[in-house]
Homo-oligomer: A and B are copies of this chain.
Amino acid sequence: MPEAPLPTLPPGLSDEEQDRFFLGLAVEQARIGWEEGGVPIGAALVHDGRVLAVGRNRRVQMGSSIRHGETDCIERAGRQPASVYRHSVLYTTLSPCYMCAGTALLYDVPRIVIGENRSFQASEDLLRSHGVQVDVLDDPECIELMRRMIAERPALWNEDIGEE
């Protein structure tokens, strides 16, 4: 199924508004994933203000154990030179697990903007210890998506984070 074309940043936004705009793309992906019966976590990879890719958790949709929101997004961005990752920002609706954090470390992504970390948090100290700028927006939509996920699909959620 063809994906929608990648959105473009509207002109004239402040830095904070830009972060909210890009996080909004990740939230949209999370919502799509929820409607598909999956885990509602989404991501966007942005290079110098340009969206390289959006992605979402595809555990259910692809039967995948490695397609979290962030890794799916990075995969969809295709093979990029190191210099691109090193000047990119990764937006994600939920604080990254170790796999997704490790992917950001592999590629030296310098900044990660997180929708929320109340529902899950594992890797932020690791990321910061490697010099990654981690900004948590504490976004109500992201919190609500995960609240519903954990309440309504608890077994799927546990599977996604490797819990019994």
Contacts and interface: CB of A to CB of B under 8 A. Distances in A.
Contacts of A126: 126
Q: How many copies does the complex hold?
A: 2
A74 B80 CA distance: 23
Interface in A37-83: 59, 63-66, 71, 74-75, 77-83
A32 interface: no
Interface stretch (A7-15, A18-26, A135-143, A155-163): A155-163
Nearest to A101: B102
Interface residues of A, number: 35
Interface stretch (A92-100, A111-119, A144-152): A92-100
Nearest to A164: B82
Interface of A: 59, 63-66, 71, 74-75, 77-83, 85, 97-103, 105-108, 123, 126, 158-159, 161-164
